[in-house]
Amino acid sequence: MIEGAVRLNRFGLERGRFWSAVVLALAVFAPALLWTQWDRSVDGEEAVPAGTAITLEASSNPGAAGKGRVWFTVPGDGWVTETGANRQSAVTLVHSPVVVRTSAIGGVDDILVLFERQARDLRMGNRVLFATGTRDYTTPTGLSGYWGDLTGERYSGALIVVGLGEVAAVIVAVAPLGRLEDQLADIANILATLEVSDAE
Amino acid sequence: MPSDVMTRVVMEGQGTFVRVRRPAYWLYVGLVAFGLLYIGDRFSGAFDHLAGALWVPIVLNGLLAVLFVWILGRMDLFEREPAAVRAAALLWGALVATSVAIIANNAMVSLITKLYGVNFATKWGAALAGPINEEWLKTLGVVCLVLIVREHFQRSMDGLIYGAFVGLGFQVVENLTYAINNAVSNPNSDLAGSVSVTLLRILIAGPWSHPVYSGVAGLGIAFAATQTGRKWWVRYGVAALCFLAAWALHFLWNSPLPAWLPKGLAFFAVYGKGALILVFFFILYGISARREWHWFTEIMHDEPESVVTPAELESMRTLRTRRHARKKAAKDYGLYGKRIVTRLQRAQVVLGEAKARCERADGDLASAPDVLVARANIVGIREELNAPGKKRIGLKTRKQEGEDVGGS
């Protein structure tokens, strides 16, 4: 233990050391403030013309060997994408009021397990959604998998997981309660062009 | 009203880390509380659903942390930094740096994606966001410690050790965050996702990750804080260069391998990057350790040979020379001799610490109690070594009567 004389200011703190702490506090939060404000100032919405082909690279988790691609065509006009949230393996498309996030996942052993895990993630998410009425589903392009209806407090939607070999496409469509039915044709049009390839 | 009227002077005892009169201390407390809430919120939700899958990553990362704490303790040759300050450094890395870095990294990757597209962000997002945000935040941890407990920074090595502890805390929590993310995103199993990414991160990135980068940056901060006799631009220039070096090492590790590199060589390229990082770190550490030894010889040079002989002083230079002295003692005197020399070396380090403390407090070396006690301990250990009854407890015949135990 060291004994020392400490000269205090009016707040009972050591004199001459206040501003260095203030500068440090600003420095700590500077990166978070800088990047969040800059990110917000850049418009992240980009119109996606009808007929645009979108290709996603299947994400490869450590230990998951399967790689491949998922692709589909944007149906009709009025779609926009949130560019900041997009990844090589996932894209978010918005056709107000419906939001469709499509992901490509590699290394899948069992489509049903993947469906159940995706349903669990939606239950754990900020916007709690429950997958009900799970049933077999085959896309017009011949990809087989499962369809579940999503129900939440203020939102409803659909969870569709289809795949080929070790690669799967996961489509989560969400809209405010009672608004999805009007947009089902949009989702059907996406599914009508959805293709999966398990070749690298 | 004159400002002096508002001034109060108090005499108070100070513990190892708690400095209730220092604003930086309360900033530290506030930031740790923020980090605890932020990281706790992220982890608690995951633990509800993934607890079974997270025990293995927790145990593995715990072992990693224990191993690093042990290594860093060994690297700190002449002055064991106080446990409370080391723990404070660890907490900054684990809670403060990680929580703000998550916010900053997410926003920066989103911005890069908006500005330069998905392909660029996938390739370079981690290489840019990681070093820029994380190195800054971890380095500020060492700056915060300087503002709170400047008295625990005597030489550059102190900053390296504290920086490495900040990095270690960051690495453990980052590894756990990866384990949670991969448990969720693995298509088949929580356990497979969490364990595979944990093993990957520990085996591939473990030896040359955050403790190394932050150690380099921390060394620069401590240099600026302690080398007060040098010109300001030299001090801050070295600190800036060390920070840039830490940034560059992190960037090197996070940057993608070139596309033209054959897949078969990727393994060697990854370990090659790691080896480069370690070599750079150990060069800096070597320079710093040499300065530490010079400090030790200076502070001990006026001690009589009953306390430390020139040969013993020489043998204290590195871990290797210390081990050599112990081995020699084992050869000459058996296991007992080795134990005694081990104690002697520790006691001599303690004496150096006590003398340094006394000098900092402008005390009298001839009468400072902890210096006297440390000296008496050394003399006692030496008497034990030379005691005539040694043969009864298995000491071999003394081959070189009169030769000092660490002698060359």
One-character DSSP codes across B201-226: IIIIIGGGSHHHHHHHHHHHHHHHHH
CB neighbours of residue B167 within 10 Å:
35
CA distance B203 to chain A (A): 13
Q: What is the pLDDT of residue B408?
A: 32
Q: Which CATH architecture has domain A45-197?
A: 3-Layer(aba) Sandwich (3.40)
Of A1, A12, A44, the CB nearest to B114: A44
SS3 category, B319: helix
- Tell me how far apart the alpha carbons of residues B310 and B359 are, in angstroms, rounded to a whole number: 22
* Distances, alpha carbon B316 to alpha carbons A133, B61, B78, B131, in Å: 73, 33, 9, 36
Taking CA atoms, what residue in B is nearest to A21? B24
Contact B254, B127 (CB under 8 A): yes
User: Prior bond to A97 cis, omega within 30?
Assistant: yes
Calpha distance B67→B72 (Å, rounded): 9
Closest residue in chain A to residue B46, using alpha carbons only: A124
pLDDT of residue A66: 52
Chain B residue numbers touching A105 (CB-CB < 8 A): 187
| Residues B336, B394 contacting (CB under 8 angstroms) | yes
- Residues A5, A108: Cα–Cα separation, whole Å: 66
* The two three-digit tokens of residue B69, written as one number: 């704490």
Pairing outcome for strands A155-164 and A144-152: antiparallel
Cross-chain Cβ contact A8/B136 below 8 Å: no
Q: Provide the CA B304 distance to its chain's centre, in angstroms.
A: 33
With a CB-CB cutoff of 8 Å, which residues 323-362 of chain B face chain A?
361
Give the number of other Cβ atoms within 10 Å of residue B123's Cβ: 14
**CA-to-CA separations, B355 to A22, A41, B350, in angstroms, rounded:** 35, 57, 9
Instruction: Give the residue from A28, A87, A93 with the most B CB atoms within 10 Å of its CB, the best one to mutate.
Output: A28
Nearest of B289, B309, B291 to residue B300 by alpha carbon: B309
Q: Do B140 and A14 touch (CB under 8 A)?
A: no
- Please, which residues 32-91 of chain B have a Cβ atom closer than 8 Å to chain A? 45, 49
Amino acid making up residue B404 = D
In chain B, where the domains are located: 23-299, 310-393
Q: Bridge partners of A196?
A: A70
**Cβ pair B7:A7 closer than 8 A:** yes
The yes-or-no verdict on residue A42 having pLDDT over 80 is: yes
Whether B188 has its CB under 8 Å from any CB of chain A: the answer is yes
Handedness of CA B96, B99, B102, B103 (dihedral sign): negative
B104 near A CB under 8 A: yes
Rounded to the nearest 5°, which phi and psi values hold at B325?
-65, -40
Strand partners, B13: A3
Alpha-carbon torsion angle B129, B134, B135, B137, nearest 10:
130
According to DSSP, the residues that pair with A100 across neighbouring strands are A93, A173
Q: Which of B174, B147, B132 is nearest to A30 (CA)?
A: B132
CB B197 within 8 A of CB B178: yes
Write out the E strands in B69-183.
Answer: none
Assess whether pLDDT exceeds 70 at residue A168: yes
Q: For every one of its 408 residues, what pLDDT tens digit does chain B have, with 9 covering 90 and above?
A: 444 445 565 555 567 888 888 999 999 999 999 999 999 988 887 777 787 888 999 999 999 999 999 999 999 888 888 999 999 999 999 999 999 999 999 999 999 999 999 889 989 999 999 999 999 999 999 999 999 999 889 899 999 999 999 999 999 999 999 999 999 889 999 999 999 999 999 988 888 899 999 999 999 999 999 999 999 999 999 999 999 999 999 999 999 988 888 878 888 899 999 999 999 999 999 999 999 999 999 999 889 888 899 999 999 999 999 999 999 888 888 888 889 999 999 999 999 989 988 888 888 888 888 899 999 999 988 888 777 655 433 334 344 444 444 443
pLDDT value of position B389: 54
CB A130 within 8 A of CB A150: yes
Measuring CA to CA, how many Å separate B163 from each of B142, B244, B388?
6, 14, 47
Interface test with B, best of A24, A109, A112 (most B CBs within 10 A): A24
Compute the distance between CA of residue A158 and CA of residue A118 in angstroms, rounded to an integer: 12
Single-letter amino acid, residue B25: Y
Which of B11, B96, B136 faces A31 most closely, judged by CB atoms? B136
d(C-alpha B60, C-alpha B172), whole Å: 10
DSSP-based three-state secondary structure for B42: helix
Cα–Cα distance, B21 to B39 (Å, whole number): 28
Optimal mutation site among A1, A3, A17, A200, interface B, most CBs of chain B within 10 A = A17
- Alpha-carbon torsion A20, A26, A29, A31, what sign? negative
Q: Which of B21, B38, B175 to mutate to test the interface with A (most CBs of A within 10 A)?
A: B21
The average pLDDT across A72-81 equals: 90
Q: Enter the tokens of residue A2.
A: 């060291």
> Is A55 in a helix, a strand, or coil?
strand
- pLDDT value at residue A149: 93
SS3 A148: strand
**Per-residue confidence (pLDDT) for residue B261, from 0 to 100:** 84
b/e sequence A69-102, b meaning 16+ C-beta within 10 Å: bbbbebbeeebebbbbebbbbbbbbbbeebbbbb
Within 10 Å of residue A35's Cβ, how many Cβ atoms? 23
Between helix B232-254 and helix B118-129 the angle, nearest 10°, is: 140
Residue B186: both structure tokens together: 């693995």
* Partner residue opposite A42 with nearest CB, options B111, B147, B188: B111
Average pLDDT, chain A: 88
In this structure, how many other beta carbons lie within 10 angstroms of the beta carbon of residue B174? 24
pLDDT for the residue numbered B128:
96
